[in-house]
Amino acid sequence: MTAPELRRYPSVAAYNAAYPACAMPTDSAARHQLRGYHVAMRGLVDDLMSTSGAMIVDFLPGGPPKPGTPDRVGTVVASPWREGPVLVLAQGVSLWAAWRTVVKRWPTHLSEVRDLLNRDDAHPPR
- Domain assignments of the chain as residue spans, ordered by start: 7-122
Total residue count of the chain as it appears in this document: 126
- pLDDT given for residue 1 in this prediction: 45
C-alpha span between 14 and 21 (Å, rounded): 13
First-last CA distance in the chain: 17
Of 9, 5, 32, which is closest to residue 84 (Cα–Cα)? 9
- pLDDT digits 0-9 by tens, 12-34: 999 999 999 999 999 888 988 89
The average pLDDT across 28-49 equals 89
C-alpha span between 25 and 39 (Å, rounded): 22
Residue 93: band (very low, low, confident or very high) from pLDDT cuts 50, 70, 90: very high
C-alpha span between 65 and 113 (Å, rounded): 18
Answer for the pair 43, 53: CB distance below 8 angstroms, yes or no: yes
* pTM of the complete model: 0.90
